[in-house]
Structure 1
């Protein structure tokens, strides 16, 4: 219409800006009658306010008291920013001031709001928010008290939260407040801020379009084809970031996309969803969930919720009945969803409406349940409008009925999926109790008034995230996380890692994480990698499935290829050399050349079927060879070793550091003893040659220099020498002595320092071919397993052979050993023997012949102890030293120990016999019956000179030590000599030494005495000679330390001979006058030492 006129009215409008925006439109000012208003500035002390010692509520109360003290009892209007401030002020004024105190704010019930307009017989004091600034005109106001503050709606595009911060009002708002007290008479306006503060405030309140969510504005503009948003002539142009935020919200909702037909980036166009959303005069988020409800089949339910979200909350909370209202509202609360709470209110209201059909009864229901009747009517109207628009029919029904909604789990899920489609960016994940992390890293708290408070689930969605005292999630509901990806797939960010072949699934998979608006909605799940990266999936399939042979199904071509490759790799293991077989990358390339883009077994099998066979995937032996090995070298490493008619399998591994490195020979349990007696190494000449080389290499450098090239020696030795099992060190020592006149003691070979692979690894297997145990020492392996077999087999023989508490030979002849028969035949041998334990003699079966022999000697001796018990008592009386001899013995040690040593000597020489038959036992007993006592006397006769010579030396040393008690060097020398005397003749010497050696001991004691006397007079000369002795004593000790327990008798005897030759050397050095039985000199000592060193074992 060309004659259309648009009239814009406002009390606080910036008229010049609007006039300019509409081609200098005329401005008509209509001023009402105003009476003079006195303005009083009463600013709050900022220091006291900062400390919390005063607040604007305190100042308001003080102002009212001051006015009443001045006898000013006309009506007062007080402006405060929040409901809480109003409640606190009303409570304090009611206690301290006269008059009728009334609150006024938007959420106050209509009945309570009407009270401010009713005449009152006394002064009215109205405490209001900025609702009384322009929305309502209250008559009869004489005084205004203005805190100068208000909650101002602000939208933060960065966090997408709506806040109501308390801010200073503009000058125009302050003037509008002042004008409320000059309508009917002169007025007084008291401002709780300074004149300077007022002067610095902006003239007008910031336009709402600059502090609002622009999504709805942008949607409407695009629907009306108003052109580019950025170039639209807004009266107040929004900030670009607010426009970008509005566009982002609409894109999140699927309402618009970039217009690719336009060259400018700011061009957008509506999607089908966006065009449908624009038909609803609602918030875009609400419109979006209505569209989703059509898809879900719950339009009626969502229409109810959408209408509720489009009006002010119908639940009222009267100032003086807060607790009653809360109790009434709790009847409707749903523990899982505040949106379902709306539906429960709707259902109760619909029941009453249908049953009563009476306005008065409806109003009573609303009053009883603290619901606003006016808002409930508004709710129904908007609900029907939504259904009309949604159905596409522009029909207005006069008799609209509210349909009761049945809610079950299925419809509940549909409802919340629909809500989620509109408020997807308002999802949140629980951190703890009522605290959540919302989309885009916002920290929010469930609103205490929510039905979910203290009961919220792991995931929620809220229709509002707003900032007041903190960021609250209001109107919330529990949701299922599995809904999020489906609804927000276009906004999800996917990351993949750990792509790998999954044998059980038969495909290449990866782990996937899904993030929506910064929140992880899927922490980790397994997905097919082919759809993500088919090229890389193929490579993984080839590398991990085909090359490694890790497939769950039998593929003939793969079995063929792996067998060929394993054959070539076995050559490497045998020769301990890499580079013969091709590497994994080479095999992978061979498959890549033959396969299309596939990464799973099912596709591979289909490909083989399509081609008619798997020949195209079968590789040749030469495909796996990188370098041809020498056939002669390979022949040195057999796959089987013959032991009689049996063939022992050999497995080779070239994996230094692993337990299986080297060659493993599989030995059936029944062939273990046979294998232990064989020289297995002779069947592996290259291994033996390498082992000998390393043994030679371990020799000291000065020894190696005397030999030809070690490789040459190892090669010749390995071919020529016949080596018994476990005697390689002995054979090699003999070989070096014979061929090169080089002495290498057997125990000097450092076999434990050889590389592990040079010792054969023996794997003992059972009848099923499973490994029982393994070791690189077949002797220990045999001992371990034979002991196990023996323990089993011995149990069957013990009852037959073993006897307890034996006191005489009443059990016949004892064999050296008995055969133990097991389930596989001969399981080994047991060795019967007598055993004496704590004075009790038993007949026992032993599994070790050495242990049996030792125990049997002791057992036979114990039987003789019983037989000759009386004789032994008599012997003990005869040998007990008395008088002066007892005193002399005390210098050596305990006389009782000496007695026992003499007894032990007699028993050792007479009783410790290896007899196996009763005849042998009895015949020997008869032979020694008359000799025991006389033999004891012989021992006493032999030791008497020793005791006397010891005593003489001991007394001399005591005398010399007393004499030289202040001469520390001499005293130290004498003490060392005394220790040597005790070492030469210990208390058990009768049992230690032969009769020949006993005869030498007095001479050694005499020589020691002479050395002590001369040393006390000329210590330097004596110690000089002792240094010569010490050289040989140390060499003797070194030989002792290096002699193995199982060393030959020859070596042990020679070592003992060296000890006594050193004693004779002492005689020749310090007491030449005593003579020696044979010539002794350093030359002879060195010769004997060399002889011992040349004994290789």
Structure 2
């Protein structure tokens, strides 16, 4: 009797997912007829089909040819080695699908057997001489490079044959217990080595019958073990003929699994769930229930095989390190670069590199030199940020740490950079004093300056240092002057027109400049000692500084009534004429200016005609009152209000600022002072202030103060 269920597990390779599927499918009519032929060979028999006749009639005549449902990598490799031309044009009896051919080429490219143009490589020629699956061949070649060929040949032979372990359904629990002695928590592949050692140890000690019984007791197939041994012998002979040194067993985990990884790069997967892994192209799967790694659940694994039955499983898996993948898959990984930035520690432009293999993040974020990726962009960032933020440090090659990073403690500073920093500060001060934003050196001006002078291949501090050492003129070439950014005439007159100190009578008062419209200290600020405040007048302060005289005269003309103003137009020309006639700082400002305007207008112009509220705030002197310690006690543009609110304190011995003892004497009863000057200068804070010696009558004696 024969009972035909009408179904069978048929191996089908899915090129897109690279999964060897074992679905249960209806058998073809030819297979059904073959099953029927199993009965009635020696006597009349009966075949019972568990499906209808209509179902039988609707089935395909023959089972799909194996060439149309398997991986074609081996076929393509042999065709290429025999120079049979493109496999797409080969006259197969049953031509494979185009997607299967493309997948075969992808597999060969993955293991380095063909290049991107599908031409056979030297490695491909070596693989074609090994009568094994191309992936197994790649593993053998990698094992030779890793000096672990003796170990890997055992595993390769096992992968080329059927698994020697038996697991009968009715005794599966006992079989699992016996097989547990061969487990390795890190790798299913290493189980093969343990089985191999177990079998050959018994083989040396036991007779043939005893060996067979021992294998059966441990649920190992003696037939498959002998087949495994024979395949291993053949592989040993093949690699010896190819002049590969086999050597001795090393049991080096890393070397063995790097060799395995070389053949199974598409089997790399990362754990993304409790028991779930994600492989190439986002394929999700679980570990095979019998895997040794089921309990440890490593983050990164390599699978020898992906199968799909009731679920998708990874079989024969091992734990790997992600840094192995990048070295072996240089031709497959994709590199993504982001956030290029200047990095002071290396004195170079760096970027974050992300390395992926078929969507898996092999390297999440690694800092790399950006000039190797985009030298033009790296040079631009070097000029825009490196020369601006690096504080001019150059790193000597001999002064790097073990990671290649520069040591900031041993930094040398560029001479041109120190000079340029001072030049930029000078230009910034000039722009603030002259209230000309166009003089400010922004990043675009700075970039254009360096871009025009630094060679195109200089994109970090090391290269800049070497270029500067190449010629003494190069350092001078990068040295800035104010004339590189602004009107040279403005630069030359900047100090005279916008002095650091303003002289009012015998006082030399520090002047500060700030360019920020709307701010309280916008314009010129004068530091005035508290003791000297009473000596100032509005007429003195109104002169401001020479650099803004024309601007202030123009603003005054525009603040006059229209009837008067029309006699002074055009205002800028009149202001320029009057500024040339006046002696700056001589006498009262308003008397001198209104007198000049009156002569030009042909009529008297009174102070009451000037609408002071129409003058821009920065054209009024801001006064900052300082105590003897140099601290600000009051500030404002209204001199009278400041003078009324601040009381004058004469210098005393209790002052923190020492007073010249020549003008500070007590208990005088006779004249030994010589001739007293009408006025002397005493130090108040950081400023010399005029003081007037005087005698104080105490009845019994006098004091000099």
TM-score normalised over the length of structure 2: 0.72
Counterpart residue number, 2:147: 297
1:763-821, CA deviations, whole angstroms, 9 ceiling, x for partnerless residues?
A: 99999x9xx99998799xxxxxxxxxxxxxxxxxxxxxxxxxxxxxxxxxxxx9xx996
Partner SS for 1:425: helix
Counterpart residue number, 2:478: 617
| Matching of residue 245 in structure 1 with residue 114 in structure 2 | no
Task: Report how far residue 498 of structure 1 moved.
Answer: 2.6
- Give matches, 1:27-106, under 5 Å: none
C-alpha contact (below 8 Å) 1:457/1:478 kept by paired residues: yes
- Give matches, 1:217-228, under 5 Å: 217-228=75-86
- The match for 1:629 among 486, 490, 495 is 490
Task: Report how far residue 649 of structure 1 moved.
Answer: 6.7
CA–CA distance in structure 1, aligned partners of residues 292 and 614 of structure 2: 81
Counterpart residue number, 2:32: 174
Task: Report how far residue 662 of structure 1 moved.
Answer: 4.5
- The match for 1:598 among 458, 468, 485 is 458
- The match for 1:465 among 291, 298, 306 is 306
Distance 1:551 1:634, change over 3 A: closer
Partner SS for 1:579: helix
Task: Report how far residue 706 of structure 1 moved.
Answer: 11
Partner SS for 1:230: helix
| Matching of residue 478 in structure 1 with residue 319 in structure 2 | yes
| Matching of residue 195 in structure 1 with residue 53 in structure 2 | yes
Task: Report how far residue 253 of structure 1 moved.
Answer: 0.7
Counterpart residue number, 1:342: 192
Larger fraction in helix: 1
Task: Report how far residue 533 of structure 1 moved.
Answer: 2.2
Counterpart residue number, 1:367: 216
Counterpart residue number, 1:280: 130
Number of equivalent positions = 598
Distance 1:590 1:194, change over 3 A: same
Task: Report how far residue 694 of structure 1 moved.
Answer: 11
C-alpha contact (below 8 Å) 1:289/1:420 kept by paired residues: yes
Task: Report how far residue 206 of structure 1 moved.
Answer: 0.4
| Matching of residue 578 in structure 1 with residue 437 in structure 2 | yes
Counterpart residue number, 2:90: 232
Counterpart residue number, 1:451: 292
Task: Report how far residue 246 of structure 1 moved.
Answer: 0.3
Task: Report how far residue 626 of structure 1 moved.
Answer: 5.4
Distance 1:206 1:570, change over 3 A: same
Counterpart residue number, 2:582: none
CA–CA distance in structure 1, aligned partners of residues 166 and 82 of structure 2: 38
Distance 1:692 1:158, change over 3 A: farther
C-alpha contact (below 8 Å) 2:628/2:655 kept by paired residues: no
- The match for 1:739 among 601, 608, 616 is 608
Partner SS for 1:522: strand
- The match for 1:184 among 26, 35, 42 is 42
Task: Report how far residue 297 of structure 1 moved.
Answer: 0.5
- Give matches, 1:380-459, under 5 Å: 380-392=229-241, 405=249, 407=251, 411-459=252-300
| Matching of residue 315 in structure 1 with residue 165 in structure 2 | yes
- The match for 1:377 among 205, 212, 226 is 226
Task: Report how far residue 146 of structure 1 moved.
Answer: 2.3
CA–CA distance in structure 2, aligned partners of residues 319 and 537 of structure 1: 65
Distance 1:660 1:572, change over 3 A: farther
| Matching of residue 650 in structure 1 with residue 500 in structure 2 | no
Partner SS for 2:331: helix
Distance 1:645 1:341, change over 3 A: farther
Task: Report how far residue 640 of structure 1 moved.
Answer: 4.4
C-alpha contact (below 8 Å) 1:663/1:757 kept by paired residues: yes
Distance 1:633 1:595, change over 3 A: closer
1:621-644, CA deviations, whole angstroms, 9 ceiling, x for partnerless residues?
A: 422225853977875543346799
C-alpha contact (below 8 Å) 2:529/2:627 kept by paired residues: no
Counterpart residue number, 1:933: none
Distance 1:525 1:777, change over 3 A: farther
CA–CA distance in structure 1, aligned partners of residues 51 and 126 of structure 2: 50
Task: Report how far residue 512 of structure 1 moved.
Answer: 1.9
Distance 1:763 1:554, change over 3 A: farther
- Give matches, 1:690-769, under 5 Å: 720=589, 739=608
CA–CA distance in structure 1, aligned partners of residues 11 and 95 of structure 2: 18
C-alpha contact (below 8 Å) 2:542/2:589 kept by paired residues: no
Distance 1:738 1:583, change over 3 A: closer
C-alpha contact (below 8 Å) 2:533/2:625 kept by paired residues: no
Distance 1:672 1:314, change over 3 A: farther
Distance 1:740 1:305, change over 3 A: same
Partner SS for 2:512: strand
C-alpha contact (below 8 Å) 2:416/2:478 kept by paired residues: yes
Structural RMSD (CA): 4.7
Distance 1:601 1:377, change over 3 A: same
> Which runs of 5 or more structure 1 residues have no equivalent in the other structure?
1-141, 260-267, 396-401, 723-735, 780-815, 827-1097
Partner SS for 2:88: coil
C-alpha contact (below 8 Å) 1:547/1:588 kept by paired residues: no
Distance 1:154 1:765, change over 3 A: farther
- The match for 1:561 among 420, 424, 439 is 420
TM-score normalised over the length of structure 1: 0.48
C-alpha contact (below 8 Å) 2:420/2:480 kept by paired residues: yes
CA–CA distance in structure 1, aligned partners of residues 35 and 633 of structure 2: 99
CA–CA distance in structure 1, aligned partners of residues 55 and 627 of structure 2: 98
CA–CA distance in structure 2, aligned partners of residues 380 and 514 of structure 1: 41
- The match for 1:332 among 182, 203, 206 is 182
C-alpha contact (below 8 Å) 1:444/1:472 kept by paired residues: yes
C-alpha contact (below 8 Å) 2:347/2:390 kept by paired residues: no
Task: Report how far residue 590 of structure 1 moved.
Answer: 4.1
1:688-729, CA deviations, whole angstroms, 9 ceiling, x for partnerless residues?
A: 9999999999x9xxx9999979999x999x97479xxxxxxx
CA–CA distance in structure 2, aligned partners of residues 448 and 675 of structure 1: 95
Task: Report how far residue 248 of structure 1 moved.
Answer: 1.2
Task: Report how far residue 612 of structure 1 moved.
Answer: 3.5
C-alpha contact (below 8 Å) 2:501/2:511 kept by paired residues: yes
Structure possessing the higher radius of gyration over alpha carbons: 1
C-alpha contact (below 8 Å) 1:338/1:477 kept by paired residues: yes
CA–CA distance in structure 2, aligned partners of residues 505 and 598 of structure 1: 15
C-alpha contact (below 8 Å) 2:544/2:621 kept by paired residues: no
CA–CA distance in structure 1, aligned partners of residues 377 and 36 of structure 2: 75
1:182-237, CA deviations, whole angstroms, 9 ceiling, x for partnerless residues?
A: 32333333323222221111000000110100001111222233333122221111
Distance 1:646 1:375, change over 3 A: farther
C-alpha contact (below 8 Å) 1:665/1:763 kept by paired residues: no
| Matching of residue 506 in structure 1 with residue 347 in structure 2 | yes
> Which runs of 5 or more structure 2 residues have no equivalent in the other structure?
394-411, 580-584, 592-604, 639-648, 660-705
C-alpha contact (below 8 Å) 1:315/1:371 kept by paired residues: yes
C-alpha contact (below 8 Å) 2:4/2:35 kept by paired residues: yes
C-alpha contact (below 8 Å) 1:508/1:530 kept by paired residues: yes
